[in-house]
Amino acid sequence: MAEYKTFSMQIGGKTLSIDIGRVAAQANGAALMHYGDTTVLCTATASKEPREGIDFFPLSVEFEEKFYSVGKMPGGFNKREGKASENAILTSRVIDRPMRPLFPKDYRNDVTLDALVMAVDPECRPEITGMLGCALATTISDIPFDGPCAMTQMGLVNGEFVVNPSQKEWDEGDMQLTVASVGQKVIMIEAGANEITDEKMIEAIYKCHDINLEIIEFFKKIQAEVGKPKSEYVSAAIPEALFAKIKEIVPPEEMEKAVFNDDKQAREAAVDAVKARVAEALADNEEWSPLVGEAVYQYQKKTVRKMILKDHKRPDGREIKQIRPLAAEVDIIPRVHGSAMFTRGQTQICDVITLAPLSEKQKVDGLDDNITEKRYIHQYNFPSYSVGETKVSRGPGRREIGHGALAEKALVPVLPSEDEFPYAIRAVSETFESNGSTSQASICASCMALMAAGVPLKKQVAGISCGLVTGDTDDDYIVLTDIQGLEDFFGDMDFKVAGTHDGITAIQMDIKIHGLTRPIVEQAIRQCHEAREYIMNEVMTPAIAEPRPTVGKYAPKIIQTRIDPEKIGDVVGQRGKTINEIISRTGVKIDINDDGAVSVCGTEDEAMQNALDMINMIVSDFKEGELYEGNVVSIKEFGAFIEFAPGKEGMVHISKIADRRINRVEDVLTLGDHVKVRCLGKDKMGRISFSIKDAK
């Protein structure tokens, strides 16, 4: 085995140990990361040649969860890991977002970052270990990369900040914050929180940032000792001479006129006309002709940025802090359990709610044993028609999964507990039209739809996104409230913040530049706060001010009771025979928790009450002298057996059937007869004994 070097430092009271040169020597860069006993192999590889015919940087990030890392067997016939879990996809996105801006914009070689989870210590989450490892593997590789960058996670447990919390602290705390930094600036923020104030969130962000700066210095020392020289690459940058020629063909004032339009379709048509004009003028230039599309895009981008930064003019004519026209309504879809639509400019989301018994929770099969099921599911769909394109749907991609998870994270803190509202809840956000920030529109629409469905939310939640255009210095910038698609594409930041009137519930920040200064972060959080207050007060509240007191006509109803946990087995019966019989007779669904909480779910009140009566009869202690009703299910020479609920029977002796002496039970009773009886206590064999003649 080749010699290798080990480096270590303390982070959050735990040892981060890194082996370089021990494994995966053929990758461009590799780091075997140990954080506590958590072990993740992180590699960075790049193709030797650029991919032809593309106008983007082809970066792939894979966070691979292996069940052997927690001593579990995979499910399924093959006993092999299947497609990536939602957690793995979201972790891959969190790794991708801060690292992508640090690669050269004109780099076209394929790059793959891989984090292979090999062992998991519950005290040291593999996600943060993989994030750090990917950053380091790329930094020490020969792949062009303007790092190192570093990431820290922060929890909030009993009011105290916890650096890189354990899995339990992460799951049960009041905040889940991930912050990435590069140089002296913050480059990525991801957060979920139980209504954390703006000030508390900013404090947490910069506690993470301070730790990141220490890690960056540690990574620089490793790079200096074992890092490879960065390789040269073929640049895909547009020649400046081409830009100069295009400006001759289409002067800047004409490009400004083309992009200065609040209608997306009209603006795109104007830009297409510009592109056609340039393409025609350069049709005979074999070198420049293939670059016209990208060159016009860059020209458009420079024009928009100049208009915003220097002239304070936005493409649709709005003021810097002005929100696009808003509209909100509920109950737009009949018969579903709840629905709402939220429109912001040319962004439109319809959200539909489905309620179900708790047995319909989503099962989660992953590395975290603390989370095995989800009671609230938020899913987001982005069909091609929403942006005027035609494309066959292949199911949700990573972006759709990420947007759904962000909206879910924003609303979880205001959901009622299972005891308060014993339902599984599914929210589906359908994107009808998109022109920027559909994820935040999904939060607004979902909040209203949940209230319309009768889900007793604790508070309203709204979301909004701020953008950024920067100049040549750190002090030269403008923060834009409510960015549309064009400002997102051509700007430097998409800073999404969701929350209630009282605090933040979710943050997701993506940027395209090398980090943000603290004044920009604080201003973006402040402007998002102002905007979401306006949205809730002026738009959402007039549409629906508070949750409806009951679920709708077509939603399942649930009634609850609680039984002695020791009698759960009596209700379930051998191999589920008893409970399945109750369900078969009544058509309801029944959930029983380990603590004895019972939920009966159905659409007909009478059937639900019948099921509840059966359960109560099964678990009740029959008291001497009380009256009961049941059906004759068995006749013997010495008497009859009466069933009062599935699996619950008592006996009436032949002498207790009638006021007179009878020779045969069949002279008075037949199978299926419904009778009233009085309890006589238990007989010598411990069976419940009843009397029909004493019940009259």
In the chain, CATH 2.40.50.140 sits at 627-695
| SS3 call for 54 | coil
Type of residue numbered 686 = G
The CATH H-level (homologous superfamily) assignment of domain 557-619 is K Homology domain, type 1 (3.30.1370.10)
In the chain, CATH 1.10.10.400 sits at 240-311
Q: What Rg do the C-alpha atoms of the chain give, in angstroms?
A: 32
**Contact (Cβ atoms closer than 8 angstroms) between residue 246 and residue 279:** no
Give the fold, CATH level 3, of 627-695: OB fold (Dihydrolipoamide Acetyltransferase, E2P) (2.40.50)
The pLDDT score that the predictor gives to residue 627 is 87
**Contact (Cβ atoms closer than 8 angstroms) between residue 83 and residue 177:** no
The pLDDT score that the predictor gives to residue 593 is 84
- Cα–Cα distances in angstroms (integers) from residue 265 to residues 268, 271, 379, in the given order: 5, 10, 28
Token pair 């599309």 is found at 293
The pLDDT score that the predictor gives to residue 74 is 86
Of 382, 395, 401, 373, which Cα lies nearest the Cα of 86?
401
pTM for the full model?
0.88
The pLDDT score that the predictor gives to residue 575 is 86
The pLDDT score that the predictor gives to residue 684 is 77
The pLDDT score that the predictor gives to residue 261 is 78
The verdict on whether omega for the bond into residue 148 sits within 30 degrees of 0, i.e. cis, is yes
**In sequence order, what DSSP letters do the residues of 150-164 get, joined into one string?**
EEEEEEEETTEEEES
In this structure, which CATH number among 1.10.10.400, 1.10.287.3610, 3.30.2130.10, 1.10.3720.10 belongs to the domain 240-311? 1.10.10.400
- How far apart CA 539 and CA 329 sit, in angstroms, is 9
**Contact (Cβ atoms closer than 8 angstroms) between residue 59 and residue 96:** yes
Pairing of strands 326-330, 376-381: unpaired
Phi and psi, residue 384, nearest 5°: -65, -30
Task: Write out the two tokens for 684.
Answer: 């010598």
76: left (phi over 0), alpha (psi -120 to 50) or beta: left
CATH no., domain 5-150+210-226? 3.30.230.70
Return the C-alpha torsion angle 409, 403, 62, 43, nearest 10: -80
516 bridge partner residues? 186
**Contact (Cβ atoms closer than 8 angstroms) between residue 513 and residue 470:** yes
The pLDDT score that the predictor gives to residue 2 is 65
Give 123's contacts (C-beta < 8 A, 6+ positions apart). 14, 36, 166, 167
The CATH architecture one would assign to domain 326-543 is: 2-Layer Sandwich (3.30)
In the chain, CATH 3.30.1370.10 sits at 557-619
In the chain, CATH 3.30.230.70 sits at 5-150+210-226, 326-543
The pLDDT score that the predictor gives to residue 646 is 83
Of 301, 463, 299, 302, which Cα lies nearest the Cα of 380?
463
Mean pLDDT per 10-residue segment, the chain (696 residues): 88 97 96 97 97 92 95 86 91 96 96 98 96 98 97 97 96 96 96 97 97 98 97 90 89 87 83 89 86 88 90 90 96 97 96 93 76 89 92 87 96 94 95 94 98 97 96 92 91 96 96 93 97 97 97 91 89 89 90 87 89 86 82 91 84 90 90 90 80 86
The pLDDT score that the predictor gives to residue 635 is 92
